């Protein structure tokens, strides 16, 4: 389980005007909420937050927030950014409660070289980059590994094929595709050309009828 530390401060007031003022002062408005607690308004030093986000996977890293000297274990639930400037506008934190599972997204990492790629020149396509799971906060994996070495051309792996650690449950469609190995493009193009040739109708050459004969020149 990945974890990190971040110091934040409480703030009394909310609203757009307060948020703009905080950003001008180099701080990011934020809020912490959770089961059984009232949402609490926070502010974060912008540089500290940006530096932290450069080194973690925000969706599945437990953040130990130091809220004016009081520690809270949290997950980042939403980061709002300016659509053009990429400036961080607001952050939502969810406080973690012991024994209460949370839903997180884990990076999917493919391990190995498929037999279909190594021996037959196939192409490996990763169709799923993140997997949504439900897990206890104390047992959040850093990522999910999927072994693709046995895959041959035409085969695919699905979510149901992934071996997850104990206590980690998939959320969503278990038959969703994770990775596929397809034939080399040259082979696909050759088959397509061959099928096109077979399906083409042959030109019919027939004898001309008498009235279709060319009239001799005078």
> Minimal CA–CA distance to 105: which of 125, 75, 80, 81?
75
Start-end of H helices in the chain = 16-24, 46-53, 115-118, 185-199
The answer to whether position 200 is within a domain reads no
Q: What is the pLDDT of residue 120?
A: 92
Which residues in 52-113 belong to E strands, given as ranges? Answer: 62-67, 70-81, 88-95, 102-111
Q: What is the pLDDT of residue 91?
A: 96
The answer to whether position 210 is within a domain reads no
Q: What is the pLDDT of residue 85?
A: 84
The answer to whether position 159 is within a domain reads yes
| Cα-based torsion angle of the residue sequence 35, 36, 41, 42 in order, rounded to the nearest 10 degrees | -60
Residues 77 and 92 placed together within one structural domain of the fold = yes
The answer to whether position 214 is within a domain reads no
Domain final residue, candidates 61, 96, 131:
96
List beta partners, residue 106. 131
Q: What is the pLDDT of residue 201?
A: 55
Q: What CATH number did the domain enclosing 81 receive?
A: 2.40.240.10
Q: What CATH number did the domain enclosing 158 receive?
A: 2.170.120.20
Mean pLDDT of 2-8: 91
Residues 115 and 88 placed together within one structural domain of the fold = no
Residues 86 and 153 placed together within one structural domain of the fold = no
Number of domains within the chain: 2
Residues 137 and 181 placed together within one structural domain of the fold = yes
Query: Taking all residues of the chain, what is their mean pLDDT, rounded to a whole number?
Result: 86
Beta-carbon neighbour count of residue 146 at 10 Å?
Answer: 21
Instruction: Name the residue with higher pLDDT: 47 or 198.
Output: 47
Residue 87, phi then psi, degrees to nearest 5: -65, 140
Domain final residue, candidates 96, 114, 135:
96
Q: What is the pLDDT of residue 191?
A: 46
Find out whether 12 and 71 touch, Cβ atoms under 8 Å.
Answer: no
Check pLDDT > 80 for residue 125.
yes
pTM of the model: 0.72
Residues 92 and 107 placed together within one structural domain of the fold = no
Share of the chain above pLDDT 70, in %: 85
Residues 65 and 118 placed together within one structural domain of the fold = no
The answer to whether position 55 is within a domain reads yes
Range of the domain at 8: 3-96
Distances (CA, A) of 70 to 66, 67, 135, 215: 5, 5, 25, 105
The answer to whether position 203 is within a domain reads no
Instruction: Name the residue with higher pLDDT: 207 or 181.
Output: 181
Q: What is the pLDDT of residue 97?
A: 86
Residues 85 and 110 placed together within one structural domain of the fold = no
Residues 70 and 146 placed together within one structural domain of the fold = no
Three-state SS at 83: coil
Q: What is the pLDDT of residue 41?
A: 94
Find out whether 10 and 41 touch, Cβ atoms under 8 Å.
Answer: yes
Residues 187 and 121 placed together within one structural domain of the fold = yes
**Distance from C-alpha of 40 to C-alpha of 31, rounded to nearest angstrom:** 6
Q: What is the pLDDT of residue 34?
A: 87
Mean pLDDT of 182-188: 72
Residues 84 and 158 placed together within one structural domain of the fold = no
């Amino acid at each position: 389980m990945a974890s990190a530390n971040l110091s934040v401060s409480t703030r009394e007031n909310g609203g757009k005007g307060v948020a703009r003022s905080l950003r001008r002062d180099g701080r990011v408005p934020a809020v912490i909420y959770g089961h059984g607690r009232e949402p609490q308004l926070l502010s974060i030093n912008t540089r500290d937050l940006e530096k932290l986000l450069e080194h973690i996977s925000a969706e599945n890293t437990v953040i130990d927030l130091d809220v004016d000297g009081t520690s809270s274990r949290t997950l980042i639930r939403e980061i709002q950014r300016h659509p053009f400037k990429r400036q961080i506008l607001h952050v939502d934190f969810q406080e973690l409660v012991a024994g209460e599972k949370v839903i997180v997204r884990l990076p999917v990492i493919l391990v190995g070289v498929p037999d279909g790629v190594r021996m037959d020149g196939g192409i490996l396509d990763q169709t799923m980059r993140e997997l949504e799971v439900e897990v206890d906060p104390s047992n959040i994996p850093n990522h999910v590994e999927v072994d693709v070495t046995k895959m041959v051309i035409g085969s695919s792996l699905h979510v149901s094929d992934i071996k997850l650690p104990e206590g980690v449950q998939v959320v969503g469609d278990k038959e969703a595709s994770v990775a596929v190995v397809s034939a080399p493009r040259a082979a696909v193009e050759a088959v397509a050309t061959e099928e096109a040739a077979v399906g083409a109708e042959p030109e019919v050459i027939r004898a001309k009828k008498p009235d279709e004969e060319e009239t001799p020149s005078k």
